[in-house]
Amino acid sequence: MFCVAADYQSFREAAERLFITASAVSHQIKNLEQEIGQKLFSRDSSSLTLTDAGAALYKDVNPLIIKLDEATSRHKKVVSRRTLRISVQPFFASELFVPRLREFTAAHPEIDIKVDTSDESVEKHPGHVDASIRIFKSAPAKLESDHLFPLRLIPAASTEFRDRLKVKAKKVVSDFPRIVHESRPKAWHQWQRSAGIELPEETTSVRLDSMIAVVRAAQRGLGAALVPVRLSSTMLNSRTLVPLFKHELEISDAFYFVCGNEDAKNESVQMLRDWVVQTFAE
């Protein structure tokens, strides 16, 4: 535990790698410091670094830990399981990735997949995971990546909303409350310009910070939302969400499979990468 915390210089990331809580890591490190009688880490509000005593201990102990792991592996009679951690933006995970994941786990039963959906931010590959499926405007620099498909948005709402919609001469003349995704506040203006359809200027709006919340709000009749076509296909096909117009807004953002250069050499990451590209890339 000490060596993993030293590697990542973070109790939180060490805990994630060891599948325990950060407080458990902190508690064990404190016990080790009490046993040795020296501080092993310098802690402040934003960083964690090894003390001189900690660096010396790590230098002596880490090679022994590695040798112990190697010796244990040589004597194991069962195939070692491998764990991959992948960060997937929440709506992609719920609508595309998780429903198809059994195909991968059935083909590779020796690999355990841990899916992290806690972060919806774009243009970011979390450093604590082996791979991610994220939105980028272009292929991220200094990372391995595969383009999956562009983000296309279409106006959609409940059937009741659609039935009340009135359009005359490419102008919406009925009430048109809008649901806005916080990360794309100008998307409705972009859609209007590209579609050539005028929307009412004076209207109510609801702003939400996740695409899942945006889509659910549209399903429940709060207003019209610009929803991602590919990710919303199940709801659009089942008519729990209906398109209001045919025109789709294609923006520069796209979904990518991303991993670090070193992670790309990992056999398990390679297998996951091949499956993701084969399954989801257009």
Question: Do 165 and 238 fall into the same domain?
Answer: yes
Per-position DSSP letters for 25-60, written without gaps between them: HHHHHHHHHHHHTS--EEE-SS-EEE-HHHHHHHHH
Q: Range with the lowest mean pLDDT among 16-25, 27-36, 222-231? A: 16-25
Q: Tokens representing 165?
A: 């919609």
Question: Do 157 and 232 fall into the same domain?
Answer: yes
CATH number of the domain encompassing residue 55: 1.10.10.10
At 15, is the secondary structure helix, strand, or coil?
Answer: helix
Q: CA-CA distance, 49 to 36, in Å (whole number)? A: 18
Question: Do 127 and 191 fall into the same domain?
Answer: no
Question: Do 127 and 205 fall into the same domain?
Answer: no
Question: Do 271 and 142 fall into the same domain?
Answer: yes
Each residue of 198-245: pLDDT tens digit? 999 888 889 998 899 999 999 999 999 999 999 999 999 999 999 999
Instruction: Supply the range of the domain harboring residue 191.
Output: 151-251
Mean pLDDT of the residues in the chain: 91
Question: Do 142 and 261 fall into the same domain?
Answer: yes
CATH number of the domain encompassing residue 166: 3.40.190.10
Question: Do 91 and 138 fall into the same domain?
Answer: yes
User: Does the predicted model carry a pTM greater than 0.85?
Assistant: no
Q: CA-CA distance, 81 to 72, in Å (whole number)? A: 14
Among the candidates 43, 75, 107, a domain finishes at: 75
Q: How many domains does the chain have?
A: 3
Question: Do 139 and 155 fall into the same domain?
Answer: no
Question: Do 236 and 172 fall into the same domain?
Answer: yes
Question: Do 227 and 159 fall into the same domain?
Answer: yes
Each residue of 69-117: pLDDT tens digit? 888 877 766 556 789 999 999 999 999 999 999 999 999 998 999 999 8
Question: Do 40 and 163 fall into the same domain?
Answer: no
H or E stretch including 17? helix 11-18
User: What pLDDT sits at residue 78?
Assistant: 59
β-pairing verdict for 205-208 and 82-88 = unpaired
Angle at 280 between CA 179 and CA 80, to 5 degrees: 120
Question: Do 161 and 232 fall into the same domain?
Answer: yes
